[in-house]
Structure 1
Amino acid sequence: MSQVGNAIKMYILLQARGKMKLSEIAKALEVDERQVRRYRDCLEQAGIYIEADRGKYGGYKLQNDNLMLGLNISKQEQYSLQLVEKYLTDSNHIAAKDISSLLAKINLISCKKEKEQIDFCNYMSKETISNINLDVERKKFLDIHAAVLSRNKIKMDYNSLNSGKYKRIVRPYHTLQYKQDLYVVGFCELKKEIRDFKISRIEDYEILDEKFPKDESFDPEKFMENCFGIYKGKEYNIKLKIMYPMSHIIKEKIWVKNQVITECEDNSIIFKAKMRGLEEIKTWILGMGSNVIVLEPSEIIEEVKNEIKEMKKLYMCNDMS
């Protein structure tokens, strides 16, 4: 990796772990200690200052008062950042506090007065809020993302909805967000395959010293290709007839990149797409109620029919209590 790339990785590692010994940074970046000192010099030239504590418990750590200078931020950029801050705060995102702190620093550097900022009190974001401890999940995510960058294995207690709680050793490849939830994608040594792990379901974890080689065959875009949500599995050629007004709602969004929508004279649409993720596909179709007919494939038609039968049983019971 280039000197700039390793310097940025060093900054992220220090941000996630707080303090690291020179030898630990060198090991994580796979360079010698002299090179780590050069990265420190490069970061300080960019205005990111790193303290070096001596002694048995010493190490490198970031100063708390790092300020970004000379950003030349436009009003439009600052207003957009305010909008992002409001969105993250309303959705209870783990990055909300950090973005608020960043915005305060930018306002200070840019000498922006309160009256020069747009009032977003009349703007809100309506999202499903994750029921999590933000501070705990933020630290967990930063630790895991640092392990992705340094290619350190993670030992975790993971509570799976399907198989229950198990100890796993995971080689973390990638992090992603879906519907306000954070995930780590990695090779599970227990199941011997690449899997998604919802970070909030990781009950305990340890970043191991053991490293793993980069998997050159892993491509996150290919891994998620044609997935409806984050679910994988068999790929289906979906064909739906969707009636108005649901047809108008569906055509307003790109559900998968390969979708093809044909508009009909009666304001209905024919929706075609290749999709993976049976459970999420079913949930999506059932959510349209009587405004949709599954035309193809027969397997999805039967899945939807069976789900409706099971739902009907619940409401046909004499005792609804």
Structure 2
Amino acid sequence: MNRTNLCIRMLQLLKARGKMNTTQLADALEVNPRNIREFKKELVLAGYNVEEVKGRYGGYILNDQYDLPVTIFSDEEKDALVQSYKFMRTQKDFKPLTLYCDAMDKIIATSKISSNASLHYMSNSIELDKKISSMIDKTQQAMNHGICVVLSYQSLKDETPIEFEVEPYEIIHYHKSYYLIGFSLLRKDYRMYRFSSERMFKCDISTRHFIHDNHFHLSNYIGEHSLIPLDLKHVIVRVYHKENGLRLFKEKYWGNKLLPIHKEDDYTDFEFYTDDMSNLYQSLFSMMDQVKLLSPDDVRETYLNRVEKIINAYKG
């Protein structure tokens, strides 16, 4: 069969069988597996909505059903939709989150709205040096046009920088730093990369285009209050009343559902829930001996180890 016939046959297979991976399609069409990605690109250019699902059980699917017609929005409405979409993707407690994101994906896909129109912020803005600012701008430009970026990046585990391509999905601003969340073509998985002169040495726009994975949701890659999604910890602390300890304690943010659970003349015990261990340790340290961490044991042990390391650093 010629190339056109192979593309049509690929459409027929996806329509009849549903999701198929590269190997299955290559076997059915009797072609090299690398040809499948080429056929997919040609079908997308021709107007067929062939999507690629990432992961071990991923593959290609033909999704040619639209629940909504093409809609024209004002610039203000587009911005409002994008901002609300980005916010809702961080609300992990919202039960119909997946259905909401799928619906918004359809609206954005059929309305010429860029879901990457702006950065996603989790903290206050900061000043950036020119090199970092340039790399962020390039990444944002690549996101807007569905193009990969080429990174020269050295993680904390690497001895030297490694160069590889990434499909950029989100730029996150958290705790005075910027991070890129994207699909690494080297690791074949979603990874997080910090925009830092000590880690990211180069960020250039590639020539490789990619199709945005509609199954990607930001809420799967960030926590409620921390960048890395962690399980909420049930924390209990003892706050001593001396030297305005109780008042100073209440001025800080500790977590969700902060409640007093026991009170004596000289102290009050509080419980709360948090997944931001960094903020917890910093707050405990700033309160000195006015707050004592009671539980959980693993968090308490980690905090004591950190304090011990600080003390040992000054003993020398």
Please, what TM-score do these two structures have when normalized by structure 1? 0.50
Is 2:239 the partner of 1:205? Answer: no
* Contact preservation (8 Å) 1:151, 1:214: yes
Q: Deviation of residue 174 (structure 1)?
A: 1.0
2:121 matched to which residue of 1? none
2:274 matched to which residue of 1? 274
Unaligned ranges ≥5, structure 1: 10-29, 40-87, 95-132
Give per-residue Cα distances to partners, 1:184-232, cap 9 Å, x unaligned: 222233344333322234211221122223233332245323343x244
2:185 matched to which residue of 1? 189
Within 2, Cα distance between the matches of 1:246 and 1:144? 46
**Relative to 1, partners in 2 of residues 1:255 and 1:295: Cα closer, same or farther, differing over 3 Å?**
closer
**Relative to 1, partners in 2 of residues 1:3 and 1:145: Cα closer, same or farther, differing over 3 Å?**
farther
2:237 matched to which residue of 1? 240
Q: Deviation of residue 144 (structure 1)?
A: 0.9
Within 1, Cα distance between the matches of 2:279 and 2:228? 7
1:46-125 alignment, distance < 5 Å? 93-94=127-128
Give per-residue Cα distances to partners, 1:45-83, cap 9 Å, x unaligned: xxxxxxxxxxxxxxxxxxxxxxxxxxxxxxxxxxxxxxx
Within 1, Cα distance between the matches of 2:254 and 2:185? 32
Unaligned ranges ≥5, structure 2: 1-69, 80-108, 114-123
2:47 matched to which residue of 1? none
**Relative to 1, partners in 2 of residues 1:267 and 1:225: Cα closer, same or farther, differing over 3 Å?**
same
* SS of corresponding position for 2:138: helix
* SS of corresponding position for 2:154: strand
1:15 matched to which residue of 2? none
* SS of corresponding position for 1:218: coil
**Relative to 1, partners in 2 of residues 1:214 and 1:241: Cα closer, same or farther, differing over 3 Å?**
farther
* Contact preservation (8 Å) 2:223, 2:229: no
Equivalent residue letter for 2:311 = K
Identity %: 18
* Contact preservation (8 Å) 1:262, 1:269: yes
Equivalent residue letter for 1:303 = T
Equivalent residue letter for 1:168 = F
Within 1, Cα distance between the matches of 2:203 and 2:282? 32
1:168 matched to which residue of 2? 164
Which of residues 151, 155, 159 is equivalent to 1:156?
A: 151
2:135 matched to which residue of 1? 140
**Relative to 1, partners in 2 of residues 1:234 and 1:149: Cα closer, same or farther, differing over 3 Å?**
same
* Contact preservation (8 Å) 2:252, 2:283: no
Equivalent residue letter for 2:163 = K
2:311 matched to which residue of 1? 312
Within 2, Cα distance between the matches of 1:193 and 1:259? 35
* SS of corresponding position for 1:160: coil
Give per-residue Cα distances to partners, 1:243-291, cap 9 Å, x unaligned: 45454344335454x34233857574514113155x5544443343222
**Relative to 1, partners in 2 of residues 1:140 and 1:168: Cα closer, same or farther, differing over 3 Å?**
same
Equivalent residue letter for 2:167 = R
Q: Deviation of residue 299 (structure 1)?
A: 0.8
Please, what TM-score do these two structures have when normalized by structure 2? 0.51
**Relative to 1, partners in 2 of residues 1:214 and 1:269: Cα closer, same or farther, differing over 3 Å?**
farther
Give per-residue Cα distances to partners, 1:17-37, cap 9 Å, x unaligned: xxxxxxxxxxxxx99xxxx9x
Within 2, Cα distance between the matches of 1:234 and 1:153? 32
* SS of corresponding position for 2:275: strand
Within 1, Cα distance between the matches of 2:157 and 2:225? 20
Within 1, Cα distance between the matches of 2:217 and 2:290? 37
Within 2, Cα distance between the matches of 1:160 and 1:302? 27
Equivalent residue letter for 1:146 = Q
Within 2, Cα distance between the matches of 1:171 and 1:246? 48
**Relative to 1, partners in 2 of residues 1:5 and 1:161: Cα closer, same or farther, differing over 3 Å?**
farther
**Relative to 1, partners in 2 of residues 1:289 and 1:254: Cα closer, same or farther, differing over 3 Å?**
closer
2:214 matched to which residue of 1? 216
Q: Deviation of residue 300 (structure 1)?
A: 1.1
The Cα RMSD (Å) is 3.8
* Contact preservation (8 Å) 1:239, 1:270: yes
Within 1, Cα distance between the matches of 2:187 and 2:279? 23
**Relative to 1, partners in 2 of residues 1:233 and 1:295: Cα closer, same or farther, differing over 3 Å?**
same
